[in-house]
Amino acid sequence: MFSFHSSFTLFQVIFPLTVVTCLQLTVNSKSDLVERAKRHEDLQGIYEHNLERDFALYRSASYGASDLLRMIESALQGRAPKHLTLLAIKNREVYPMPLTEVQPKLASRRVAAIVEGLVNASKEGVTFEDTILLLNTWDEPKCANMGACPAPVFSLIKQWNWDTESSPQNDVLIPFFNHQYGDTISYPTQHKVAKALMRAAVQNGMRENCTRLWLLELAKTDLGQKHLDVGITNNLKKGFQVQLVPFVEMAEHAKWRYLISTDGFTASCRFGKLLQINSLVLKEESTWIEYYYRSVKPGVHFISFNKDNVLKVLQELEHYDDAQVLKMTNSAQDFSHIFLSQYAKALYVSRAIHLYNKQFKEVERMMSQIKSSDLGNLHTALNALKLYASSG
Ligand SMILES: *[C@@H]1O[C@H](CO)[C@@H](O)[C@H](O)[C@H]1NC(C)=O
Ligand SMILES: *[C@@H]1O[C@H](CO)[C@@H](O)[C@H](O)[C@H]1NC(C)=O
C-alpha cells in the first residue's frame, strides 16, 4: 500500500533549482522563462490529440466489474500475464496488484514509478478518482481487438497510423514515470560538434537490419563518417557481435548538433530525453508511439528520417543556420518543459481515470463497497470484485 498522506514535500521536483554541471553546459536554463502546465486546462490540447483519441472507441461503450473480471480471468488463463497489474485507487491510496507473483524487473520498476508519480503528485494537489483498472507495463500494447478488451487497458506504448489518425489497438496510453523529463539542457550551438550522435543498446528482439545497426553500417562509408557519430553501448542480442563504445551521459549529448532517436524494440523513451536538449532531434519515422507523440510534429519539434534518407536529411541540414536550428530546439525544449514534467504526467493520468470512470458503471458505488483491506492483495481484491459483480 502506498499512502498519499505522508508529509514528504515535492516542491524541489516541480521547481528544480538551476544547476550548472560544467562550463557552458546549462541545465534548466529555461525554468524561469516558460511556465509548466499546472492545471487540466493547460493540457487541453494534449488531451485532445492523445487521450481523447485513445478513448474514442469507448466513448459510447459502457463496462463494469464483470468486464474487468473477464479480462483478468482470460489473462490469468493465457500465457503468463507477466506485465499486467491490477491497480486500484481508493481514498487517495494506490494499490498495485501484479497478476503474477514474480513480475519481470522491468515491469515492476515501471509500475513502482507510476505509483510513486501519482503519490507524489497527489501530495501536490492532483486528485485521482477512486477506481480499479488493468495496467500493462510491457513495451507492446495489449488490446488488438475490442472483444479482448471490453474495458480499456492502460498501456505505455502502442501503434498509430499517421495517415488515418487511428490505432490498430484499443489501449489507452499513459506516461512512463521512470523516465523524468523535467530539465532542459543547453550548450552553445556554435560550439557543438556538427555530427549526429546516437548511443544506443542493441536489444535481443532487434533484427540485424534494424535502424540502429543500419546506421552503424552507414557510419563506415565516407559520407556516413562525415555526418554520423554512432555507437552501441550495450549488446543484449544473443549470438551477435559488435564493438562497444563508451556511454555518453544525457547532459553531454548537448555537445552534438544533431541527436538521433531510433526505435528500440518498440518506441524508445530516449526520445523524450532528447527533446530536452537544444540539439536538433532526428527521429526515425515509426508507427510506435508513447502517449504524447501525437502532439509533437516533424518540422516543428524534430526532423524525421528513415533508414534510406538519413544521410540526405543530414546533408540538407547543413544548410540550416543556427537561428533555424534554435527555433526548432526551442519548440522541443518548451514542449518538454511545459508538458512532460512528472506533475503534468500525473494530471494526464488523473484525466485518463476520469474518462475511464465515466463509462464504468457504478465504479463509485463499487469502490465504496470494496474494503481497503481487500485491495492490498490480488486474491482478496478479485474476490471482492466477484462478490460485487454477482450481487449486481
Ligand atoms: C517522487 O518524489 C521524490 C521526492 O521528491 C523524488 O525523488 C522521486 O523521483 C519522485 N518519483 C517520481 C516517480 O516522480
Ligand atoms: C537493410 O536496410 C537498408 C535500408 O533500408 C536496405 O537498403 C537494405 O536492402 C536492407 N538489407 C537487408 C539485407 O534487408
Ligand having the closest approach to the CA of 349: 1
Q: What is the pLDDT of residue 126?
A: 97
**pLDDT, tens digit, 9 for 90 and up, residues 311-337:** 999 999 999 999 999 999 999 999 999
* 187 C-alpha to ligand 1 centroid (Å): 27
* Index of the ligand 1 atom closest to the CA of residue 13: 5
Determine the topology of domain 185-339 in CATH.
Rossmann fold (3.40.50)
Q: What is the pLDDT of residue 2?
A: 55
**pLDDT, tens digit, 9 for 90 and up, residues 170-199:** 999 999 999 999 789 999 999 999 999 999
CA distance 174 to 137: 10
Q: Which residues line ligand 1 (CB under 6 A)?
A: 10, 13, 113, 116-117, 120, 177, 342
Give the mean pLDDT of 343-352: 98
Ligand having the closest approach to the CA of 111: 1
The residue whose CA is least distant from atom 7 of ligand 2 is 308
Cβ–Cβ under 8 Å, residues 274 and 184 = no
Q: What ranges do the domains of the chain cover? A: 41-180+342-391, 185-339
Cβ–Cβ under 8 Å, residues 340 and 46 = no
CA distance 297 to 355: 26
Which residues lie below 8 Å from residue 372, measured CB to CB, with a gap of 6+? 90, 91, 93
Give the mean pLDDT of 272-280: 97
With helix as H, strand as E and coil as C, how does 24-53 read?
Answer: CEEECCCCCCCCCCCCHHHHHHHHHHHHHH
Give the mean pLDDT of 103-109: 95
Would the CB of 53 count as within 6 Å of ligand 2? Answer: no
Residue 205 pLDDT exceeds 90:
no
Ligand having the closest approach to the CA of 176: 1
* 173 C-alpha to ligand 2 centroid (Å): 32
Q: Which of the listed residues 213, 214, 263, 309 should we mutate to test ligand 2's pocket, taking the one with most ligand atoms within 8 A of CB? A: 214
Q: What is the pLDDT of residue 19?
A: 46
More confident site: 14 or 55: 55
* 214 C-alpha to ligand 2 centroid (Å): 8
CA distance 132 to 381: 10
* 208 C-alpha to ligand 2 centroid (Å): 10
Structure-block grid coordinates of residue 47: 488531451
Give the mean pLDDT of 23-27: 70
